[in-house]
Amino acid sequence: MPPLVEPAAELTVDEVRRYSRHLIIPDVGMAGQKRLKNARVLCVGAGGLGSPALLYLAAAGVGTLGVIDFDVVDESNLQRQVIHGQSDVGRPKAESAADSVREINPLVNVVVHNEALTTDNVMEIFSGYDLIVDGTDNFATRYMVNDAAVLLGKPYVWGSIYRFDGQASVFWAEHGPCYRCLYPEPPPPGMVPSCAEGGVLGVLCASIGSIQVNEAIKLLAGIGEPLVGRLMIYDALEMTYRSVKVRKDPECVLCGKNPTVTSLLEDYEAFCGAVSEEAQEAASGSTITAADLKSMQDRGENVYVIDVREPNEYEIVSIPGAVLIPKGEFLNGSALERLPQDKKIVLHCKSGVRSAEVLAVVKNAGFSDAVHVGGGVLSWIKTVDPSLPAY
């Protein structure tokens, strides 16, 4: 493919010295390094994938690096988000990441977007960059990033991580498929656990993040064969890589022959269904607070508290008196016969999403007075027992 950007006019003596190991690679050389210097790359997210991506893009000499993130650094981030340190806990991630980038390479111009990426700002922000590196961890933002990139005609490098598994690809509708060609519809709510729910091996972020940077460099400099039309799948446990072809869908609603999506959606959260309609209906009028549950326990009410998270989450922190029955056992029906008929069922998870989905299953099974805890364990820690460890 042709280089994504034109080369800068020159490299300074300091830049030649800094990038000398690039310059002696025939495929990169002076021309390629000048293109990197002239490039404008935006990293969406300064978390697990954004951390290695930003560090290596800066080290490679990308002239302008943008970082957008609205979150703050939490201690639980430090296991994998290596761009932040202990002293950064509580700081905005975008600002912490920018400081690390400047320390790696003071020649890089860092643009900080300390805000959430939304339908109101995504088009304006993306328009100022040549390439997008997507390090997001939720489906709503992934679809929004894809749609904005396609509508603006920009390529972006995508990555995804979960436990020991990683994926990466390059989506560029002008030359191949877009994300919607691979995943036309988001998965059902609660079907795919997030890293916060299922965990992620910290070093996996480096493996996939560095692949994203490798693809970015190839696109910017116009070298090699980028992952356009290919999905790279990495299994860290088995230490295997495999590549799957992804074809452009001629019926794609966004980049197909007759697109029906010609502008950003009004609500990507609704499109991805943070909670299914059935779960929303079940939770309506059947949601209690963590404080409500504590009061019920203190009064000695006849309740049966069920934690629907995974065993490893339960080991980290649990609500006193809760019995662990993972969500999957409700979905396959095996848990229903274990529920007591003479007690009020109270469900909870980490934040309230999974327990709402299970609540719908339980209510359909005849437990009409069952309830779930809005906000889950996080709410319990915040409002009832702050001494418990967060995760």
Provide the annotated active-site residues: 195, 349
Give Cα 103 to chain centroid, integer Å: 26
Measured CA to CA, the distance from residue 40 to residue 279 in angstroms comes to 43
Long-range own/partner contacts, residues 289-293 (CB < 8 A, 24 or more apart):
289/373, 289/374, 289/375, 289/379, 289/383, 290/373, 290/375, 290/376, 290/379, 290/380, 290/382, 290/383, 290/384, 291/383, 291/384, 292/373, 293/319, 293/346, 293/348, 293/373, 293/380
Measured CA to CA, the distance from residue 3 to residue 11 in angstroms comes to 18
Residues 6+ apart with CB under 8 A from 350: 196, 197, 309, 313, 376, 377, 378
Q: Report the DSSP pairing between strands 131-134 and 40-44.
A: parallel
Measured CA to CA, the distance from residue 321 to residue 10 in angstroms comes to 67
Measured CA to CA, the distance from residue 282 to residue 276 in angstroms comes to 10
